[in-house]
Amino acid sequence: MKKIKNIISIFGLGLIFFIGCNSKREKDPSTTLRVTFKAEVSDELNGNTIDIWKTLNYSERQGKYLFDKYCTVCHGIKGEGDGFNSYNLNPKPQNLQDSLYINKVSDVFLNQIISSGGSGVNRSSQMPYYKFLLDETEIENIISYIRKLNTIQE
Which residues of this protein are in contact with other proteins, per CB under 8 A? 3, 6-7, 10-11, 14, 17-18, 21, 26, 29-30, 33-39, 41-47, 49, 53, 57-59, 62, 65-66, 69-70, 73-74, 84-85, 88-89, 117-119, 124-133, 137
- The whole-angstrom separation of Cα 63 and Cα 138 is 7
Smallest gap from residue 26 Cβ to other proteins (A): 5
Which lies closer to other proteins via its Cβ, residue 16 or residue 100? Answer: 16
Kindly write down the DSSP assignment for every residue of 82-130, as one continuous string.
--GGGGG-SSPPP-TT-HHHHHHS-HHHHHHHHHHHHHHTTS-TTS---
| Residue 69: CB minimum distance to other proteins, A | 6
Cβ at position 137, least distance to other proteins in Å:
6
Q: How far apart are CA 64 and CA 49, in angstroms?
A: 12
